[in-house]
A and B are shown apart, each in its own frame.
Chain A
Amino acid sequence: MATALPPPSAMEEDPSPSDPVAEFQEKLRKAWDLALHPPKIEVGVTPADVVLREGRMRLLHYRCPQGVLKEDRPPVLCVYALINKPYIMDLQPGLSVVETLLSRGLDVFLIDWGTPNELDRDLTLHDYVNGYVGRSVEAVQRETGEAQVHILGYCMGGTFSAMYTALHPENVRTLTLMAAPLDFDTRSSYLNIWAHAPGFDAWKIARTFGLIPPEFFNSAFGMLDPLRTSYLKFKDLLERMDDTPFVENFLRMEKWTNDGIPMAGPTYAEFIDKGYQKNLLIKGEWTLDGDKRRVDLKAIDMPLATIVGLKDNLVPPESTEHVLGYVGSKDTTKFQFPGGHIGLSVSRRAHQELWPRYADWVLARSRGPSKKSAPAAAKAPKARARRRRSK
């Protein structure tokens, strides 16, 4: 659009082909065409095998890319949130956390929660943390022969990861909490403020819906930046209609944004009630499985990293970083990135600057003696052989 017009005389004599009005009309035509005939877009294309399946949950083990040595790759388990789908960590080649970590020599696993249905409506946080995450860690141990895994928890998955690690520190080599809500006592995000609204009863919401529909979450997220959600992003799209990679990326992001999954009512209510409303994790008073297991953050004593987006309006940086004051770890690192909650995983800059540094951080903490689990190590070669046969 920022094209200078030719002088008036030229305009009168010969209408220039770079007429901004004509350009704008052409962009509108393309936008209309895009809306009517959207191209087929693919997400989550990095090759992977399913190594564990339980209910709707699947554990994906990504294949080692060509040119990377298969042996001695430290296993990293990615634990994503229960909001939308985890392919945001493998959105497209070139902008994939999974791909970047694989190319830097890590052995990557990702929990795909699937789409919860009516059979999952009674799941609690205990089921997720000690159940699904726990069994995923066991599967990683079996697959790799390593007794300890590196855990990377994103958003709500970060909260799950912190809880799991506090309860089972012996299984975790390093813990990384990425844009994870942990200290909920902040007023930097609307969500933290709205959770304290009089009449906001998370348990009533859970009872009413059973499974909390994705639209419920989307309506709240849309209010975080209403102008961008409803107008600015479409304006940007219109202006860059000729930029094919931008348009494709836009469509992938739109697909992800609108590809929400429901959440089990009790899980949601527990998370809001004990987290957003009572901030029990930082206080050391969060219990799982009824009152049987208290989550003590002091038990987290392995190397710990936080990754935050400085412009994150969903989980403010302090909500993640404050945890460093409450854990037992001596080796702590802060990764700060000048982006938002989602930009951490899909921005080009993050893949140039952030993820290589994170991979180096993990590699540096993978050398040296590891606590070997004899049964796990014994099972590992069998698992590998079985997988090779199945391929």
Chain B
Amino acid sequence: MIDSAVRVALLYPELLGTYGDRGNARVLLQRLAWRDIPAELVEAPWGEPAPASCDIYVLGGGEDSPQASAAAALIAEGALHRAVDGGAAVLGICAGFQILGHSFFGPDGAVRPGLGLLDCTTARRASPRIVGEILVEPDPAVALPALSGYENHAGLTDLGPGAIPLGRVDVGVGNGDGTEGAIGGRVVGTYLHGPVLARNPALADRLLSWVAGDLEPLDDAEVDDLRKERRQFVSAEAARWPNRKREAPFGWRGYRRRRMSSIDRPSEANFSV
């Protein structure tokens, strides 16, 4: 057991919070509360010093320009780097995942430095934008049940040797090379919205166990029903469009996506990551 409250920081929700990813913080806190583990939510608004003493940091998805602002602020402050050095866990979603890497591209298409907390770079753009349900079969080393979510991004991410992917894409696109997300140490990045921790309680508990030790199991029957429904949905859609699976370069790409016409350098025609 831990002696003080687990502090969960929601970083710049007004910049990195377009897709309901604040829900990840809600899930972490509630799963602690259900186990009678004291917990505290620390909202870190943009423009104020980010806290360096939290246990878990959550960064959500956002649009290009706010993403660049968030990265610049976090690099200038160094609070997140200090927290990671001190053993904190980090979960970055979509735009939040991309800025954890070495580089990403900004609203003008130019390469921007990332925080370098994950060994990855986001330099390629998919056109059209990747939007749809995603199902991921986790890497055996990650030892998690299948990951379910919803992806909505144009950036594609390449991993370096210092990170391993969360898993292989079963349905969807993810990083763009058949893998999805990244883990290095206690830093996790993923393209999955949903929010990801609401749909994947085992991933939530993994993050929590890093900072709060062994956890009692919870009754997740209601989430299991949702996971089952989503899995059936993506299987049915994949069966409805069997040809797409063969056509697509990186696995079946979602029932409402058109064919990926190009994967190339960033262009201004594609408006967002």
A binds B: no
Q: Which chain B residues have a beta carbon within 8 Å of chain A's beta carbons?
A: none
Using a CB–CB cutoff of 8 Å, the interface residues on chain A facing chain B are none
